[in-house]
Amino acid sequence: MGGANLTGLQAVNTSLKFTGTGNIFEIRQVKYLNNILEQDHRFIKRITRPMMGFKALHSASATIAGIEVAHMIRKCQFTNDNRSPFQVFAELAA
């Protein structure tokens, strides 16, 4: 984790300790976490790059969420109980 992020989280934790509100953040450093995230989101970049862009934030978030769900279904990250990917998607959409 970069220096600015680490310092910011430490400041938030100190503030939470003094006020006694909320849970304290556990700071975990994973060396290659950014690479793992970028690798997993590469498919979103590949799909959205040819698009003309998004005009509104809510439409962008809905489109990207749909792309992610479709990819998760394809990777069998949902329990499917021997159902087809279409049946899993239909159940999520309902």
| pLDDT tens, position by position, 77-88 | 777 778 887 787
Confidence of residue 33 (pLDDT cuts 50, 70, 90): low
Residue 34's pLDDT is 67
d(CA 60, CA 42): 17
Question: How far is the C-alpha of 71 from the C-alpha of 84, rounded, in Å?
Answer: 14
pTM: 0.49
pLDDT of 24 over the 70 cut: yes
The pLDDT value recorded for residue 36 is 66
